[in-house]
């Protein structure tokens, strides 16, 4: 039996053949389907099957990135100095706990507000 026929029959029986990132053959099958005859056939044609099956596409998980707020700047008192909306330079308006830049301030600039 050739490797391509083996793959076709495996698919018909519900056996999923894949190649791992370290070039090993992996077989997932419903319970009772992967008999000793199938195991022997897969072992005999392992090299051909690895060459025939598609290579794995995701060898490594995607790299995690830091959220934008994690790169925010802080002043000497530990207060954020970047806008919470666009990460531009920001100032503290009033008594709120969120810094905004002039363009993102929800109420616009008001006379008499003190920049901290």
Q: Could you give the CA distance from residue 84 to residue 103 in angstroms, rounded to a whole number?
A: 12
Domain ranges of the chain: 3-52, 67-116
**Between 36-44 and 3-13, two packed helices, what is the crossing angle to 10 degrees?**
150
Q: What are 31-55's pLDDT values in tens digits?
A: 888 899 999 999 999 999 999 998 7
Check if CATH label 1.10.3470 holds for domain 3-52: no
The rounded mean pLDDT for the chain is 77
Report CA 44 to chain centroid distance, whole Å.
Answer: 36
pLDDT for 69: 59
């Amino acid at each position: 039996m050739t490797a391509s026929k083996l793959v076709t029959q495996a698919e018909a029986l519900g056996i999923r053949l894949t190649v791992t990132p370290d070039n090993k053959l992996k077989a997932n099958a419903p319970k009772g389907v992967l008999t000793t005859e199938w195991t022997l056939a897969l072992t005999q044609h392992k090299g051909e099957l690895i060459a025939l099956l598609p290579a794995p596409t995701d060898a490594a998980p995607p790299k995690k990135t830091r959220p934008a707020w994690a790169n925010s700047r802080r002043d000497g008192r530990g207060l954020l100095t970047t806008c919470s909306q666009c990460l531009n330079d920001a100032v503290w308006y009033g008594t709120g706990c969120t810094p905004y830049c002039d363009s993102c301030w929800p109420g616009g600039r008001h006379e008499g507000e003190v920049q901290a």
